[in-house]
Amino acid sequence: MAFKILVVDDELTLLNTIKAYLEQEGYVVQTAADGRTALHIFRNFQPDLIVLDIMLPEIDGLEVLRQLRQSSDVYVIMLTAKANEADKVIGLGMGADDYVTKPFSPRELVARIKASLRRLGGGSAKKELVTTNLRLDEDARLAWKNGQPLDLTPIEFDLLHTLMRHHGRALSREQLIEQVWGYDYYGDDRVVDVHIGRLRKKIEDDPAQPALIVTAWGAGYRFEDEIA
């Protein structure tokens, strides 16, 4: 079954170009030119991935993202203007999984989307990673802390899974980007810091004093707990 993608941008020429490129790759695509329409289409279309511009009429992209994250962990790639560095940080902090900076080539965006969907749809042998308080089911892509399910986005799950598989070893931002976002990722490596901060809020007893995912100064991040 083909992946479903919702593309949201008020630049109609760009919107139609992205749609054409994605349909050539075999994806099922719907589009919206404003935030209100995007939310309506999302509820009925239930896409696997959303490409979401920040600057939108009616309801801006950040508000659309906020409303999406109230009920869904759908993968979201934000489109941001190169000059608006703060928008990237805000978007990631609100739950976006990735971002692409305008201007970009449609081929670059399609490559990013294909890499993201490969990670979402790729299967592997069933495997669980278990620590004192955490359990990850790699096959089902589910996680629990003290028996309670964790509400992780796809990127957060992949980050935690990667760090747990390499427990006790510091992984640099570049290594995490290669393993979580893929070799064809072109964005800022600070995306790692933002997602680590969000992940800590969900798994640490005290996110201000992390005991599971610790910062290895000058080296990256390290998962401290032992794997059973």
Inter-CA distances, 60 with 44, 65, 87, Å: 20, 9, 12
Same domain (yes/no): 93, 176: no
Residues 89, 170 share a domain:
no
Residues 46 and 146 in one domain: no
Residues 113 and 51 in one domain: yes
Question: Which two structure tokens, joined as six digits, stand for 103?
Answer: 């201007």
**89 shares a domain with 187:** no
Residues 157 and 57 in one domain: no
- Asked if residue 39 belongs to a domain, the reply is yes
Could you tell me if 65 and 160 lie in one domain? no
Same domain, 138 and 110: no
| Residue 96 and residue 136 in one domain | no
Per the prediction, the chain carries an average pLDDT of 88
- Please state, in angstroms and as integers, the Cα–Cα distance from residue 75 to each residue in 4, 6, 69, 116, following that order: 11, 11, 10, 8
Answer with the residue of higher pLDDT: 139 or 100. Answer: 100
Using the 8-state DSSP alphabet, how is residue 33 labeled?
S
Count up the domains in the chain and report the number: 2
Return the CATH number at 195: 1.10.10.10
Contact 184, 115 (CB under 8 A): yes
Q: What is the pLDDT of residues 186-211, one digit of tens each?
A: 667 788 999 999 999 999 999 999 99
* pLDDT (tens digit per residue) in 110-148: 988 988 888 776 544 346 888 889 999 887 889 999 989
Give which of 207, 189, 69, 56 is closest to 145, Cα–Cα: 207
pTM (global) more than 0.85: no
Instruction: Using the 3D structure, point to which of 88, 121, 154 is the last residue of a domain.
Output: 121
Where a domain ends, among 77, 103, 121?
A: 121
228 domain residue, yes or no: no
Range of the domain at 84: 4-121
Res 153: pLDDT: 92
Question: Residue 107: inside a domain, yes or no?
Answer: yes
